[in-house]
Structure 1
Amino acid sequence: MSPPDTPRHTLRTVAPVLALCWLAVFFDGMDVNIYGAVLPHMLEDGGLGLGKATAGTIGSWTTFGMLVGALTAGNITDWVGRRPVLVASVSLFSAGSAVCASAANPALFGAGRFLAGLGLGGLMPLCLAIVMEFAPPRRLALTTGLLMTSYHVGGMAATGLGLTLAPAAGWRWVFWAGVIPAVIAVPLLLRLMPESPGVLLAQGRRDRADATADRYGLPRVTRVAAPAAGAKGRLDAVRALFAPESRFATPLLWLASFCGLLLVYGVSTWLPQMMLASGYGMTSSVSFLLVINAGGIVGMLIAGRTADRYGAVRVSAVWFVLTAAGALLLQAHLSLAATYAVVAVTGIWLFSAQVMVYAATSTVYPESARATGLGWVTGVGRSGAVLGPWLVGALADGGHDSWGFTVFALAGLGGAIAIALVPLARRAARGAGHDPAPPATGPVRGPVTEADGQA
């Protein structure tokens, strides 16, 4: 059982850090969803010459850029710390948005999305790790859920721009709006974001590590919880993921993350176009992206509180099943009001199912391996993020837009099965004489990116 929160370590003490990470992830969500929000307008732009198959490929370029960015960030974070990497990430995806806004052809536009992906790659898991480190132990899932509401608020902002700015001024101006993060978020992060005590200790800066921990009411980090330095340290951390007590649970977490991110990025990229192909109007089709992100905000709040009570694994499994049911319902052409309702409730389950996979890693790995475990769960899951937009784009190019809903339903069922088997894998390890890692007793220590330890 997690220790009680101390008077000096509460949600109030984490609030400044949570607010800064919330802002960064807000812009992350806005950038990821901008493409889906304006894609119907881009496909109608004869001057750009964008086809459905190419559009799907470009969506995968973005997520492939995220994977490359995560691999790079995994090493850079060890050297320079979390705050500089976070600032660089925001700057990169803002620059990528500027390239997209001025692109004269699909190739240059794709290069801009790849550049944006490089910046986006390390941002989300980096913010998750920061918040998990600073959060009170008994409010870990709730704090994670609060952070992830920002992604969906950002998605709603992108949809709002797609509904208002794109028809009036053109889709390019929506991407110009994506440059705003460099102007707003970067100065705030440089001035106000604290460095991780775990990173400071790993860099040999014990005094600063203790001062930061004391300032935010954290327990002082120990060498056991701090990340090991150098390539050998990262290799040892990866080996720990396949220790006898977690060797079966690790691939199950990877599979659940693969299915979850296939859903998240497949839906974010293609939902408006799929609904347009199903016979709904342009405004309604783009509005569905707004509605599903609104559902995502509600879902994060519900999932966080529910997981704190019943466990992240149970919540994630149930949420995945409900997502699959929602995707199948969307395949039927319902009335507009009924479709809005289905999209909204599907958003409640879809996005938080994946976030609860992240929260579940703390029940599988010991504290010294949780940062690396989270990095690999998110990093391997990115292959689903790459596959999803490409696969649905290929189906749409062949005239089978509605088959995308079947793909999403299958991904939901796959994620549910994988995450539900994690407790069985841990019990199997116990039966074989290995003690599974205890439940989380504190925040995650040490730097984490989506592929921490992979390089």
Structure 2
Amino acid sequence: MTSSRARAHSFRTVLPVLALCWLAVFFDGMDVNIYGAVMPHMLDDPGLGLTPSSAGTIGSWTTFGMLIGALLAGNLTDWLGRRPMLVASVVLFSLGSAVCALAASPGAFGGGRFLAGLGLGGLMPLCLAMVLEFAPPRRAALTTGILMTSYHAGGMAATALGLTVAPSVGWRWVFWAGVAPALIAVPLLFKLLPESPGVLLARGERERARGVAARYGLPEPALVEAPAGGAKGRLAAVRALFAPGTRWATPLLWLASFCGLLLVYGVSTWLPQLMRASGYGLTSSVSFLLVINAGGIVGMLIAGRTADRFGAVRVSAVWFVLTAAGALLLREHLPLGVTYAVVALTGVWLFSAQVMVYAATDSVYGGGERAAGLGWVTGVGRTGAVLGPWLGGALAANGNESWGFTAFALAGLLGAAAISLVPLAGRAGRRRAPAPAQSGIGNPV
């Protein structure tokens, strides 16, 4: 790579990719948070027949769909490309939102949420992989943090819809708003989003890969940086995650992601209802979701800049511990103003703790394994996303809502322990690895 190309590779050159992925993830965050924002209204709707227990189960259907969607997207990307898969993901969760708006029973509504989950699960790892590939040197954590501010901006938009549209015209119209991504984002993604140079190279389209790299100031793609194609390539990529330099770090990243996504989706689904059960009014309870997402936006920017200086692993571990402390404080019925402050600060730490787990994969895996590593970290972590909403529903159904905050605190402490051990695991693996290491596998943590 020449010095002129190095100077060209900056936020300015990759801004179009970041902006388009930001828009896609904005709608992802809106769709995920819509359910929590309108759940109190849905529970009060006798025509739907939703109960706290079935509400938690439906929340888990959504995240189970995400688990399947994340794993399918990683495999189909080899054949179809990242841009078509991103478009398909947006179409799927928009269609799922339409099914929810029309649902006449909890079962039909759950089917719509499962369909939406398929699209949501594929979208996030694809956008993260795109942004990490196009990110300027030594700015992976900051770029990831900027991308993920969109998730919380979408969550705030969902909460605003829950506070304004649901009380006036009904919760179904909030889900009709979830159809907007298919009308807004899909044409823009088709027209403006480039394909991944690494994916193009893996498919044998060398000239196209070079053209995209040159257009965005990226280094010329090399085969070692390209994700492996085909079934054999996918199997080889998974085996590489357990190579001597990464075999112990990989399960720790999975565990940290599990804990982080349990927190993210458990809180996004159940915070309004948990706060309502703690004695706060309906409007205040829903507005807490707005506040925690506002804190999430601030947290992403703080975490991204801090992680680029001190490392994503350290920041993620500290953020997990602070999240646990915030969750324990929310068990107490504090004055309303103090509660808003605690919720906002908890949002600063909670969401970016998980995102810094994603950012940590950039230093654990080499270029050829990065997409597979990130896909499996997000995919396995989705089991936590499945458990979080179900756990909240089970506790609410038994009148033990306050224990939900304790469960979230324990998840935060376990996540901190897991991510803290990743550097030690990486060093232990490299000490046992035969020399020389091959294909860039097992980059230092």
TM-score of the two chains, using structure 2 as the length reference: 0.97
C-alpha distance in 2 between matches for 1:371 and 1:92: 22
Instruction: Mark the CA change 1:377 to 1:28 in structure 2 (over 3 Å): closer, same or farther.
Output: same
C-alpha distance in 2 between matches for 1:69 and 1:431: 36
Q: Is the 8 A contact 2:13 2:216 kept in 1?
A: yes
1:5 shift after superposition: 8.5
1:365 shift after superposition: 1.8
Query: Which residue is 1:285 aligned to?
Result: 285
Query: Which residue is 2:79 aligned to?
Result: 79
1:400 maps to 2:400: yes
1:398 shift after superposition: 0.4
Query: Which residue is 1:383 aligned to?
Result: 383
CA shift digits 1:210-264 (9 cap, x unpaired): 0000000000111111112111111111111111111111111000000000000
Q: Is the 8 A contact 2:34 2:175 kept in 1?
A: yes
1:412 shift after superposition: 0.1
Q: Is the 8 A contact 2:327 2:408 kept in 1?
A: yes
Q: Is the 8 A contact 2:198 2:209 kept in 1?
A: yes
CA-atom RMSD, angstroms? 1.4
* Consecutive unaligned residues in structure 2, runs of 5 or more: none
C-alpha distance in 1 between matches for 2:313 and 2:72: 30
CA shift digits 1:15-43 (9 cap, x unpaired): 00000000000000000000000000000
Query: Which residue is 1:251 aligned to?
Result: 251
Query: Which residue is 1:320 aligned to?
Result: 320
Query: Which residue is 2:242 aligned to?
Result: 242
Q: Is the 8 A contact 2:53 2:394 kept in 1?
A: yes
1:438 shift after superposition: 2.8
Query: Which residue is 1:268 aligned to?
Result: 268
C-alpha distance in 1 between matches for 2:433 and 2:51: 56
Query: Which residue is 1:437 aligned to?
Result: 442
C-alpha distance in 1 between matches for 2:245 and 2:400: 44
| Structure 1 SS opposite 2:40 | helix
Instruction: Mark the CA change 1:421 to 1:169 in structure 2 (over 3 Å): closer, same or farther.
Output: same
C-alpha distance in 2 between matches for 1:437 and 1:13: 29
| Structure 2 SS opposite 1:7 | helix
Q: Is the 8 A contact 2:159 2:286 kept in 1?
A: yes
1:139 shift after superposition: 1.2
Query: Which residue is 1:345 aligned to?
Result: 345
1:72 shift after superposition: 2.1
Query: Which residue is 1:54 aligned to?
Result: 54
Between stretches 426-435 and 51-60, larger displacement belongs to 426-435
C-alpha distance in 2 between matches for 1:25 and 1:216: 21
Q: Is the 8 A contact 2:199 2:226 kept in 1?
A: yes
| Structure 1 SS opposite 2:224 | coil
C-alpha distance in 1 between matches for 2:75 and 2:370: 17
1:111 maps to 2:116: no
Q: Across the two proteins, how many residue pairs are aligned to each other?
A: 438
**Partner AA of 1:104 in structure 2:** A
C-alpha distance in 2 between matches for 1:250 and 1:67: 18
1:426 shift after superposition: 1.7
Q: Highest relative contact order (Cα 8 Å, sep 6+), 1 or 2? A: 1
C-alpha distance in 1 between matches for 2:398 and 2:412: 23
1:171 maps to 2:176: no
**Partner AA of 1:203 in structure 2:** R
C-alpha distance in 2 between matches for 1:66 and 1:208: 31
Query: Which residue is 1:446 aligned to?
Result: none
Query: Which residue is 2:426 aligned to?
Result: 426
Q: Is the 8 A contact 1:4 1:137 kept in 2?
A: no
C-alpha distance in 2 between matches for 1:5 and 1:306: 27
C-alpha distance in 2 between matches for 1:140 and 1:341: 30
Q: Is the 8 A contact 2:36 2:270 kept in 1?
A: yes
| Structure 1 SS opposite 2:223 | coil
1:4 shift after superposition: 11
C-alpha distance in 1 between matches for 2:375 and 2:60: 20
C-alpha distance in 2 between matches for 1:262 and 1:201: 36
C-alpha distance in 1 between matches for 2:129 and 2:365: 15
C-alpha distance in 1 between matches for 2:340 and 2:158: 18
CA shift digits 1:418-444 (9 cap, x unpaired): 00011111222244356783348xxxx
Q: Is the 8 A contact 1:307 1:315 kept in 2?
A: yes
